[in-house]
Amino acid sequence: MPGNSQRKGAVRKKGKTTPAGSGGRVRRGLEGKGPTPRAEDRPYHKAYRKRGPNEAGKTTGAKPKGRASSRASAGGTATAGADWVIGRNPVLEALQAGLPIRRAYVADGVERDDRLRDILTFAAEHGIPLLQATRPELDRLTGGGVHQGVALQLPAFEYADAEDVLADALDAPEGGLVVACDSITDPRNLGAIIRSAAAFGAHGVIIPERRSAQMTAAAWKTSAGAAARVPVARVTNLNRTLKAYADAGFTVVGLAGEAETDIAGFPGIDGPVLLVVGSEGEGLARLVRENCDVLVTIPIQSAVESLNASVATAIALYEVSRSRA
């Protein structure tokens, strides 16, 4: 109605009252949650992380420390972290892809089928020990996930140093080639980018610590084992890293759909190149664009708005490799 300042759809708040017959909610709210756990018993506290794995497991029953290890929820049930692969199909695919294995579990008395027999055969042929666990134990380790009686835990990924990647790329006789990822949040995209980097001879991949996918089990699997051959460096400030590479003589090239320069012939393609790729939806961040020496595009049909980030990276790497050949 004209003159009515109340926003449409808003609900007028009423005075706060205690409902009759609350079932004891008010009383329970005053009882508290018990004593605060010791610092060394809280997985997110630095005192917990300083303990050795044996001591940690002795006190709380928690798994040994890992970068993305399972953590206890408020109810005390572990949740499967990013370093777990569970389920028969995913486990077999992870084994065949050559993912590094920290521990492999199989549940006691699990029903056997062709998939499980393939897993057992692969493990036996490649000397991978399978630890036996009861179903309740495996449920706890995987946070109640649908593990189908088998699960893998990957070790914490060892990231390379961006300066070491730079030095190795500069020493390469064919011209250095490094890929930097800006806001690539899907670990499968990250894994595919690493796989393409290996296929076209890149000397490393750089990812930021924040707002980026990390090297989880999904990224490992999608890379098809390439993450073991191509160094992946994690940096706290991507823009600072771009400047350092530029100062070292790299041409910093950003992929942007609206750019006017074709990927097939940008200036500096014969020398050390740092290829920067952004997310499919947002593209490159403003500061990242400003730190690029040149923005390049991949010509595509106008009916297609954009390419998947990993696909665009593969095409760009191919063009750089082809022009150098």
Between CA 99 and CA 152 the distance in angstroms is 10
Between CA 270 and CA 204 the distance in angstroms is 18
Residue 65 has pLDDT above 50, yes or no: no
pLDDT bracket for residue 102 (50, 70, 90):
confident
Residue 45 has pLDDT above 50, yes or no: no
Burial letters for 159-190: b for 16+ Cβ neighbours within 10 Å, e otherwise?
bbebeebbeebeeeeebbbbbbbbbbebbbbb
| Residues 149/115, Cβ–Cβ less than 8 Å | no
| pLDDT number for residue 252 | 96
Average pLDDT over residues 79-105: 80
User: What is the DSSP secondary-structure string of 31-49?
Assistant: S---SPPPGGG-TTSHHHH
- In this structure, which amino acid lies at residue 259? A
pLDDT digits (tens, 9 = 90+) for 271-314: 999 999 998 778 899 999 999 999 998 888 766 667 889 999 99
Q: What is the pTM of this model?
A: 0.66
pLDDT digits (tens, 9 = 90+) for 122-177: 999 999 999 999 999 998 888 888 888 999 988 888 899 999 999 999 988 878 99
| pLDDT number for residue 290 | 94
| pLDDT number for residue 81 | 53
Contact partners, residue 218, CB within 8 Å, separation at least 6: 82, 187, 188, 191
Residue 18 has pLDDT above 50, yes or no: no
Better-scored residue on pLDDT, 25 or 71: 25
Between CA 107 and CA 36 the distance in angstroms is 35
Q: Count the Cβ atoms, other than its own, within 10 Å of residue 220.
A: 27
Average pLDDT over residues 76-89: 64
Better-scored residue on pLDDT, 186 or 43: 186
Going by the DSSP 8-state scheme, the letter that residue 294 receives in this structure is E
| pLDDT number for residue 289 | 93
| pLDDT number for residue 90 | 84
With pLDDT > 90 as the criterion, what percentage of the chain qualifies? Answer: 40
Between CA 203 and CA 208 the distance in angstroms is 17
Q: Which tokens is 318 given?
A: 């191919």
Pairing of strands 71-72, 78-79: antiparallel
pLDDT digits (tens, 9 = 90+) for 205-263: 999 998 889 888 788 878 877 888 899 999 999 999 999 999 999 999 999 888 888 88
